[in-house]
Amino acid sequence: MKKKNTTQTNPMEALLQKAPFARVKKNADIEATIISLSRKNVLFDIGAKAYALLGEKELREISTYLPYLKEGQTAHVRIIAEESKEGYPVVSMRKFFEQGKWEILKAKKDKEEEIEVMCGEYGKGGVFVDFMGIRGVIPKIQLTENFLNSPEKLSGQKIKVKILEVDEKKNRLVVSQKVAALNISQKQLHEEFERIEVGKTYKAKVLGVSEFGIFCEVAGVEGLIHISEISWEKVMNPSGYAKVGDDIDVSVVEKNTQDLKLNLSIKRLSIDPWEKIEETYPQDKEVDGEVVRQERYGYFVRLTPGIEGLIHISKLTGKENLKIGDKIKAYIEKVDKRSRKMSLVLTQKERPVTYR
């Protein structure tokens, strides 16, 4: 009586032993179909009579990409060995790893699907993140409310985000934690953006303040009040005008349709004090003012909010000893409405020789 053969064939070996090997050319770039996918093995149909394996070095990296790959998917590979020690062709997915991840990002953006990123340091642009070696950023205003005041706490954390911008040529990736957390769709964002009208006044929520302006949100749409649009008077520090969480009135100056952002203004909600400047401050009129700023070429004097005049150094004798905060009297020497400039001279018992 014959003994039964109890030796079982390894499933992977059985799969690899598709047929006798066909000749494959080393360094050939081809499109291959993924047949089997796991952390231990990735198997490809390369159109020959033998399946091919992913090289061991790249196999150690595959776990990063597994969530974005599937059996039956086509991938660009390169033949790196016509025959391994085990007798099978070996391929590299390096080009796919380098370029395919951008395709993954584009597809995720189009489908409005989440991706997982690793957060790094917080800088001026926002929280820097990493996705498969691609460096991106979460702008501060795209953080959830609990991280707005302490974005640095995200460092070292893996979080879910949605893609706002992806551009391989510019090596640019911008993502949003807030959009993912609130499940905001691009369709909703476009609809809200279309409803907003230039020139109208809206309530805005302050999301952040920087040296160059105030970041806001109007009906879920991102906006910026540039430092030049905060007040008619010169603004040195935007943080003196708003803080995170404030609800403020703003006017929409411009809509950026390319990235769905708004340019906003506070100062345009009030009348421009320079509109009737020549009537309010005619030449030779004596005015009261406060010294607010000293420059190498003279002193700036505030007459009313938004209206400042310059006493040029050439109009001074050097004995005046002016200081910031001094209340003084001066004469209007000249007003230039177009360039929004006004020159003053100090009131004296006798007009200086330099006065014209």
Per residue in 168-184, pLDDT tens?
A: 899 999 999 988 998 88
Q: Indicate the pLDDT class of residue 65, thresholds 50, 70 and 90.
A: confident
Task: Tell me which of 327 and 21 has the higher pLDDT.
Answer: 327
Say which residues have a Cβ less than 8 Å from residue 296's Cβ, sequence separation at least 6. Answer: 313
pTM of the predicted protein model: 0.60
- How high is the pLDDT of residue 1? 46
Residue 117 and residue 110 in contact, taking contact as beta carbons nearer than 8 Å: no
Same fold, 29-100 and 112-182: yes
Residue 23 above 70 pLDDT? no
Q: Identify the architecture of domain 277-346 in CATH.
A: Beta Barrel (2.40)
The strand pair at 221-226 and 261-265 is best described as: parallel
Cα 12 from chain centroid (whole Å): 47
The CATH number of 189-269 is 2.40.50.140
Q: Indicate the pLDDT class of residue 16, thresholds 50, 70 and 90.
A: low
DSSP state of 22: P
pLDDT tens, residue by residue, 302-324: 999 889 999 999 999 888 889 99
Residue 229 above 60 pLDDT? yes
H or E element at residue 59: helix 56-59
Residue 3 above 60 pLDDT? no
pLDDT tens, residue by residue, 195-212: 999 999 999 999 888 888
Q: How far apart (Å, rounded) are the C-alpha atoms in residues 99 and 352?
A: 73
- How high is the pLDDT of residue 10? 60
Domains in the chain: boundaries: 29-100, 112-182, 189-269, 277-346
pLDDT mean across residues, the chain: 86
Q: What is the mean pLDDT of residues 55-61?
A: 84
Q: What is the mean pLDDT of residues 248-267?
A: 93
Q: Identify the architecture of domain 112-182 in CATH.
A: Beta Barrel (2.40)
Q: Which fold has domain 29-100?
A: OB fold (Dihydrolipoamide Acetyltransferase, E2P) (2.40.50)
User: What single string gives the DSSP state of each residue in 284-295?
Assistant: T-EEEEEEEEEE
